[in-house]
Amino acid sequence: MKEVVKEILFDSKQIEDCCTRLAKEIDRDYAEKTPLLVGLLKGSVPFMADLIKRIETDITIDFMGVSSYVGTESSGEVTIVKDLEISVKGLDIIIVEDIIDTGRTIKAVRDCLLRRGANSVKVVTLLDKPERRVVTLIPDYNGFVIPNVFVIGYGIDFNQKYRNLPYVGVMKEEYYQ
């Protein structure tokens, strides 16, 4: 285990099982459709990869880069730093996110995709930290609900590091305070 990690919350087996469950939920709801899964860079990359391999219904994928975080605090401002390659008009979209905290990022992306004419926009997240929510947002597909702790690993970073850990762990407070 990395020195900065206090405790492992979810190991790779638990995450894989979770992806299987979420993929089944998506298959059930989108059997007759071909949804576009939009992964939010960079945190969603491992989750996106594990999730899509388990989805059986036809899908397409694309990525969007949005930034809202500096260090451990959400700035509240959401900026698109990399946009989608295709028009979303009329498409059924599932936003793929690593973790929902205040909810501002997902709300901003969802509103943007709806404004651009998406037919529907749902949200799948690996982790949900509902205690810190400042906007009304309930993910349609939710991996794990976690308490208000700062986590790293499996795509989730602290100052861009630790995304490559194969598990989700709680970061020791002394490393970010």
Tell me which residues touch ligand IMP (CB under 6 A). Answer: 43, 68-69, 74, 97-105, 129, 150-151, 156
Could you tell me how far CA 82 lies from the centroid of its own chain?
16
Using the minimum distance from each CB to Mg ion, give the nearer residue, 41 or 52.
41
CB 58 to ligand IMP: min, Å: 27
So which residues are the catalytic ones? 101
8-state DSSP, 161: B
Cβ closer to Mg ion: 43 or 46? 43
Neighbours of 64 (CB within 10 A): 20
User: Which of the choices ligand IMP, Mg ion, none does residue 104 contact, using the CB cut-off of 5 to 8 A by kind?
Assistant: ligand IMP
Phi and psi of 21, rounded to 5°? -65, -45
Find, among 12, 5, 61, 58, the residue nearest to 175 by Cα: 5
Q: Is 155 left (phi over 0), alpha (psi -120 to 50) or beta?
A: left
- Work out how close the CB of 65 gets to ligand IMP at its nearest, in angstroms, rounded to a whole number: 11
| C-beta nearest to Mg ion: residue | 43
**CB-nearer residue toward ligand IMP: 22 or 151:** 151
110 makes contact, choosing from ligand IMP, Mg ion, none, with CB < 5 to 8 Å by partner type, with none
| Shortest distance in whole angstroms from residue 43 CB to ligand IMP | 5
Contact 168, 15 (CB under 8 A): yes
